[in-house]
Amino acid sequence: MSLSAPFRQPALSASPVLVPVLAPAALVDAQARRVSYLRVSVTDRCDLRCSYCMAEKMTFLPRAEVLSLEELDRICSAFIAMGVEKLRVTGGEPLVRRDVMAFFRAMARHLRSGALRELTLTTNGTQLERHAEELAACGVRRVNVSLDTLDADKFARITRLGSLAPVLAGISAAEAAGLRVKINAVALKGVNEDELFALTDWCGARGFDLTFIEVMPMGAGLGAERFWPLSDLRSRLESRYPLVETAETSGGPARYVRVDGTGQKIGFITPLSHNFCASCNRVRLSCTGELFSCLGQTGKTDLRGLVRGAPEDDGLCAAIGRAIGQKTGGHGFDPVTRGGEIARMMSHTGG
């Protein structure tokens, strides 16, 4: 049984592809959490070298090890048939992959059929200016842009290769295309502490949601000297802004507050200082076809071999179901020692 139509690049069938829908229980893990969200990395490559994500001198994967767009389509379509309703495209930097918009066009058929409720993107913003309009045409309604600083010199230091101007131009292009923008900022002690209020005010003035993220002990990540607990960051915010707790949740790691009087939404992702695993509804697919049920665990399932070794999708769906069933109750990061380091880099798994 094949779950997806043949991938055509760039043309797609005008009619949505009908696929058999498996019971939602197929994607319920041992903790009774329903997995409805897939983050899929389409490349390990990036045009930046952010110090908490990549080594400065990276050796990227050979092309043969990376899933083709057709293989990505097939795996994602299987997940959608099994109950995934939200698909986030990540990397590396997803927009540096050649012909990546063909993948977005392919996934748009699941939006049209109603099987997929949301197709979205996390990006560093460097390539967003030239892709924003087509992303919107494919049904993308919002994007997350990783941006840790508004200072051009500091941006160059954090990213090692980057220039701030293209990112700001990309954000403006996304706004013009009607995309809702959320800014993700990694909290870096001694690096962007002094910009806390400036970044918050900038996002508030433009109507952007803002999420702060603690550094995670992964791969070539920064040492403990750069770890800035969000409990401290939030206390500083509260010295200037009246923050109101909300019950809002995406089923993911962020906890949200709103700035009283303006309605600005601010999120906090705290993998070390406050475990967020109880409501986790997501899994991650690397660009090589490794399925990680948890960012902070080493367990994985190889799906590439299944899609390359068999034309039918029964084995693929069975493997997905088994992997979800083995999803752990929580990550392995140690909140006391800030240890539990995962050897693979953040860019390998997909942010």
pLDDT single digits (tens) 78-112: 999 999 999 999 999 999 999 999 999 999 999 99
pLDDT, position 168: 98
pLDDT of 9 > 50? The answer is no
Q: Is 92 annotated as a binding residue?
A: yes
List the structure tokens of 121. Answer: 């993107």
Q: Is 304 annotated as a binding residue?
A: no
Residues in the chain: 351
Residue 264: name the closest of 211, 219, 302, 213 by CA. Answer: 211
Q: Is 277 annotated as a binding residue?
A: yes
Sort strands 243-245 and 209-214 into parallel, antiparallel or unpaired.
Answer: unpaired
Q: Is 262 annotated as a binding residue?
A: no
Give the chain's mean pLDDT: 85
Percent of residues, the chain, with pLDDT higher than 70:
79
User: What mean pLDDT is predicted for residues 223-248?
Assistant: 90
**Residue 333: CB atoms within 10 Å:** 21
User: What mean pLDDT is predicted for residues 137-165?
Assistant: 96
| pLDDT bucket at 29, cuts 50 / 70 / 90 | confident
Q: Is 40 annotated as a binding residue?
A: no
Of 40-54, 147-161, 215-229, 260-274, the poorest mean pLDDT is in 215-229
pLDDT, position 32: 83
Q: Is 283 annotated as a binding residue?
A: yes
Q: Exposed (0-12), middle (13-18) or buried (19+): which is 1, by Cβ within 10 Å?
A: exposed
| pLDDT bucket at 299, cuts 50 / 70 / 90 | confident
Q: Is 84 annotated as a binding residue?
A: no
| pLDDT bucket at 28, cuts 50 / 70 / 90 | confident
Q: Is 257 annotated as a binding residue?
A: no
Bigger pLDDT: 95 vs 328:
95
Q: Is 284 annotated as a binding residue?
A: yes
Q: Is 182 annotated as a binding residue?
A: yes
Contact yes or no for 173/139 (Cβ under 8 A): no
Q: Is 89 annotated as a binding residue?
A: no
User: What mean pLDDT is predicted for residues 258-279?
Assistant: 80
Q: Is 39 annotated as a binding residue?
A: yes
Q: Is 294 annotated as a binding residue?
A: yes
Residue 266 neighbours by CB under 8 Å, 6+ apart: 200, 209, 210, 211, 212, 237, 243, 256, 257, 258, 259
pLDDT, position 55: 79
Domains and CATH numbers, the chain: 24-349 (3.20.20.70)
Q: Is 88 annotated as a binding residue?
A: yes
Q: Is 216 annotated as a binding residue?
A: yes
